[in-house]
Amino acid sequence: MTEAFAHPTALAHVRITVTDIHRSKAFYEQLLGVAPAMDFSAHIDEPGIVEDRERLYGGCIFPLGEQLFGLRPVAPRGQRFDSDTVGLDHVSFTVRSVEALHETAARLDAAGVEHGDVTDLGEAGIVILSVQDPDDINLEFTAAKG
């Protein structure tokens, strides 16, 4: 590797494809506890919106610290995510502590969002909380142990 190579230092954003922008937007507002920073979902039925990159294809973007998480509503209704095909396996969101994982689980319980248990992954040095989104995409909240 040459010194002139500017290697990535973080993810700028992740955008997932969803089948129903209104359902997914509501789910991620509950999951992430924040409203979108940019949102064109109210325009989803306008001609040409799903091809318009400047209007996020009719989707929205959530702020997560220095990164962004977006929803792109172009998948056909009824299509389901499959982590065993080429592409995305899951998305993991970092939280500040194991205590924050328990707080997240309590917030999801209060919102009626089903989720897994807070699970210590032993030698991996992390603790996770898993949840499935409305299109069955696996999501994790992750905290370092200690």
pLDDT in tens, 69-86: 999 998 888 888 988 888
d(CA 145, CA 41) in angstroms, rounded, equals 38
Residue 130: give the domain boundaries.
Answer: 89-146
For the entire predicted model, the pTM comes to 0.86
Q: Are 145 and 93 members of one domain?
A: yes
Instruction: Kindly state the average pLDDT of the residues 41-53.
Output: 94
Instruction: Kindly state the average pLDDT of the residues 25-37.
Output: 95
CATH label of the domain that carries residue 102: 3.10.180.10
Residue-wise pLDDT tens digits, 103-135: 999 999 999 999 999 999 998 999 999 999 999
Whether 1 maps to a domain, the answer reads no
CATH label of the domain that carries residue 58: 3.30.720.120
* Average pLDDT, rounded, for the chain: 91
Please measure the distance between the N-terminal and C-terminal CA atoms of the chain and give it in whole angstroms: 34
Instruction: Kindly state the average pLDDT of the residues 24-50.
Output: 95
pLDDT, residue 85, reads 87
